[in-house]
Chains A and B, each alone.
Chain A
Amino acid sequence: MSNTYLDQFPAEAKVVRAAFYSSFFALAIGGLFGIVQTLHRTDVYRFMDSADYYTVLTAHGVLLAITFTIFFLVGVFTWAVTTSLDRGVENLRFTWAWYGLMVIGTAMAAIPIFAGFTDSIDMSASVLFTFYAPLQGHPLFYLGLVLFVVGTWLAGVDWFRSWRAWKAEHPDERIPLPTFMVLTTTIMWYIATLGVAAAILLFLLPWSLGLIESVNPLLTRTLFWFFGHPVVYFWLMPTYMMWYVMLPKFSGGKLFSDPLARVVFVLFLILSVPTGIHHQYLDPGIAEGFKFIAMTNTMFLLLPSLLTAFTVVASMEHGARQRGGTGYFGWLKALPWRDPVFTGMALAGLMFAAAGFSGMVNAGMNINYLVHNTFWVVGHFHLTVGTAVALTFMAVTYWFLPQITGKALWSRPVALVQVVLWFVGMTFMSNAMHRAGLLGVPRRTAEPQYEGVTFEAAVGSVGELNAQIALGGVILTISLVLFFANVIATGFNGRSDELPSNGYADALSGPEDAPLVLDNLKLWTAIAIVLVIFAYTFPLLSIVQRGGLFGPEVITFPVSLESLAPIAAALEYGGLATVDGVASAVTGALEPGRIAIAEVVR
């Protein structure tokens, strides 16, 4: 007899399964669009109109960065809370309700995005996953987003309810580590989503409904990034949770330190939100001083990141030594490299370490100017969310699938090849994206080739970089196909009785060593809010003071292609006066149509 999650919590396992399958569905479609746009912009294979590129890009960004990641993590969190508190959810109907709300929200947001492909439906939302003004989408898109986020809020309520009920029965016990991680992440998410909620409900939705005539674009951008930075921690904290509480177990060891893990999550709760302005280093209208404060806060985030690197590697080493590993580096050989779950997560961590470097470049106010809005940035976040998060989620799926279906994984060798292919494909794609970005190749551009502008490659040529990007994209797509083959074929397997039990790693140094104050969630929430108030009050006030709450004048994009011509002309005139060539690059970017204007405004 096995003792899987399905055996322990059959009803909850169904919710987790539904969340995972929703997330994989988004991954499949988003991944398909990924290869389409890769082949299009590298000019390897173009079969659609370049104006549709931005619809594809919106779907890719929204489906992967929002839908895939968040559906997966609500599944993981539900598993984590129920498993570590050893109790089912308080009210199963409520749990299905928030899941249903997230599904409805996703569908509502997806309809206008996909309607953008056809002219026969008068609806579109090709506003990219950052969706701030002046780009305007159909109201249904914003309503869908709101419902989706409300769904995640209710999911948080569900987890807090479980904890409350558990605490009533165990008044003197420490919060189990996985639940502690879920709760801190949820509080962070509540604070962070206030930004988008305000941006959508106060400005973007009324504006797209025609209730207000204009908005202040800088204000909606700032509110977006108030949420847009911490959302990366909403992806990363569940990933870290997997590294902290699962990876040691797969390595054959124990978590190095439970208290250190708690410290890291508290630091992320405090520091995630007051940093969003680091995405706006190039925004005119925000004073350099505010940007400097955001940069400082960002650099503080290095601390929990390095603590994580240390704790996670030390836990792996503990496993390796228990398996007979020796030496300074020799222990690496003793790790279970044949296990796709372990190997996938380890490779994801390795790529994250590489992303640490490009992240340092992004975070520096000065050096950011060199890479801002270039393909470098795309290379960077395909290492972070596209690999550290996505590859960890895919790898750990190979452990979760048997837990939630009661069926053995279809093929471990295929799974191993899949995770390794992702690493290799991403190496090719991301490396060339970084390099292209250094040459000034812009992101979010269907046809990044301009008359009168040539990008000078330091080594090799732009053509070679494009080929490398396309090669990487193709390998990644093959990897995705293998992933889905495994998930689907596992579904067709029969029930198995010999599955590993549900559980997570013990700690070498347990919660009894952690100071009690770490579990004082109210205190950390209060500190987090104070820091946010410090970081954002003055920037927001000054933005409103200069540009007005609803914007200084009426400017609405995308209205039509015609309205772009005078703007392009104006930009070209202004551009010629300063840097020759940049202007033609800008007009080149305008040609494909509506959305590239975003780059100009950014």
Chain B
Amino acid sequence: MGALLVVVAFTVPLFVELRTVLSWVGVELTVLESVALAAVAIAALLVWALWPESDGPDSSNAG
């Protein structure tokens, strides 16, 4: 659980700077679009990690 929380937190800087990086290749995101993109990505991450059968980053010895 703890590791998952940190992984989610770690996506924040990535998405904050994603806008700038994409603008170099000519893709201009609005704030709303970046937020939506981040929300989708984090949701996907959570589903993957918390899916019952999966062995996500949240294995029991992760503390």
Enumerate chain A interface residues (CB-CB to B < 8 A): 323-324, 333-339, 343, 346-347, 354, 416-417, 420, 423-424, 427-428, 431, 435, 458-460, 464, 467-468
Chain A residues closer than 8 Å to B2, beta-carbon distance:
336-339, 343, 416
Q: Knowing A337-B2, A339-B2, A458-B20 touch, does A428 contact B61 (C-beta < 8 A)?
A: no
Chain A residues closer than 8 Å to B59, beta-carbon distance:
333
Q: Is A420 within 8 A of B9, CB to CB?
A: yes
Enumerate chain B interface residues (CB-CB to A < 8 A): 1-3, 5-6, 9, 12-13, 16-17, 19-20, 23, 28, 31, 57, 59, 61-63
Choose among B1, B12, B19 the residue that contacts A459 (Cβ–Cβ < 8 A). Answer: B19
Choose among A338, A417, A435 the residue that contacts B63 (Cβ–Cβ < 8 A). Answer: A338
Question: What CA separation (Å) do A285 and B63 show in the bound complex?
Answer: 57
Q: Is B23 within 8 A of A323, CB to CB?
A: no
Q: Is B6 within 8 A of A347, CB to CB?
A: yes
Q: Is A336 within 8 A of B63, CB to CB?
A: yes
Q: Is A458 within 8 A of B63, CB to CB?
A: no
Write the chain B residue with the least CB distance to A330: B57
Write the chain A residue with the least CB distance to B17: A431
Question: What CA separation (Å) do A416 and B1 show in the bound complex?
Answer: 11
Question: What CA separation (Å) do A346 and B59 show in the bound complex?
Answer: 20
Question: What CA separation (Å) do A464 and B32 show in the bound complex?
Answer: 11
Chain B residues closer than 8 Å to A423, beta-carbon distance:
9, 12
Say how far B55's CB is from chain A's closest CB, in angstroms. Answer: 10
Q: Is A431 within 8 A of B16, CB to CB?
A: yes
Write the chain B residue with the least CB distance to A336: B63
Question: What CA separation (Å) do A24 and B58 show in the bound complex?
Answer: 34
Question: What CA separation (Å) do A529 and B43 show in the bound complex?
Answer: 57
Q: Is B61 within 8 A of A343, CB to CB?
A: no
Question: What CA separation (Å) do A511 and B39 show in the bound complex?
Answer: 50
CB-defined A-B contacts under 8 Å, sample of 24: A333-B59, A335-B3, A335-B63, A336-B2, A337-B2, A337-B5, A337-B62, A338-B63, A339-B63, A347-B6, A347-B9, A416-B2, A416-B5, A417-B5, A420-B5, A424-B9, A427-B13, A428-B16, A431-B13, A431-B17, A459-B20, A459-B28, A460-B31, A467-B31
Q: Knowing A337-B2, A337-B5, A459-B19 touch, does A323 contact B61 (C-beta < 8 A)?
A: yes
